[in-house]
Amino acid sequence: MDYKALLPTSYFPCIAYLSILNKHEEVLIEANESFKKQTHRNRTYILSANGVLPLIVPVKRTTEQHQPIYETEICYKTPWHTNHLRAIASAYGKSTYFEYYYYQIENILQKKHRYLFELNQEITMLLLQKMKITTKILTTSSYKKEVENDYRDIFDKKRIFTDYTTRPYFQCFEHKFGFQHNLSSLDLLFNMGIEARDYL
């Protein structure tokens, strides 16, 4: 197991993200890069009754160039957090472990964090706790230009690792759409529960 890696912040990170995180004893989360649109920094993908569904956290627009992501503010002009919770409940309400984790996720989203980075960090720490992942999480104090095990850029696409295949596990709507690879950590948590870490 390697000592350290550098990852971007991520909203309910995908399975590939968790797999990378789980392979390192210590991980740095980049807090000083500029916010990048249409990436996993503010979106995740779940499997709903209508297929793969993106959940996107809206952020406030700013005229400031190169604003660090830890200063990126969440926009609450629409009740996106309520909509996300409804979508999550609809997609995973009948999953094996829904009742064990949903209300803790609900509590986080209902806090209405001001900053995206803070929201993502609290989500990540909850996932580590529930999946019993012991990786130590640190944040950068300045932008890191060159670091070994730098995974920031691979999360720039809307669907990270489109060629990343995950081993099949039970998914609630697999019978309708087939197995969907590399979904949100929510999918793994609600369907596998305490076995999620061993899966990674």
User: What is the arithmetic mean of pLDDT over 97-114?
Assistant: 97
Tokens coding 115: 């900053």
Whole-angstrom CA distances from 186 to 70, 127, 129, 179 are 23, 9, 14, 15
Residue 152 has a pLDDT of 87
Average pLDDT, the chain: 91
pLDDT band of residue 163 (cuts 50, 70, 90) is low
Residue 162 has pLDDT above 60, yes or no: no
pTM over 0.85: yes
Domain boundaries, the chain: 2-199
Number of neighbouring beta carbons within 10 Å of residue 61: 7
Strands 43-48 and 2-8: unpaired
Residue 72 has pLDDT above 60, yes or no: yes
Render pLDDT for 22-66 as a digit per residue (tens, 0 to 9).
Answer: 999 999 999 999 998 889 999 999 999 999 999 999 999 887 777
User: Which of these, 21, 66, 44, lies nearest to 119 by C-alpha position?
Assistant: 44
What span, in angstroms and rounded, lies between the C-alpha atoms of 27 and 30? 10
Render pLDDT for 13-22 as a digit per residue (tens, 0 to 9).
Answer: 999 999 999 9
Cross-strand partners of 28: 6, 138
Give the DSSP H/E element, type plus range, for residue 45.
strand 43-48
User: What is the arithmetic mean of pLDDT over 149-153?
Assistant: 87
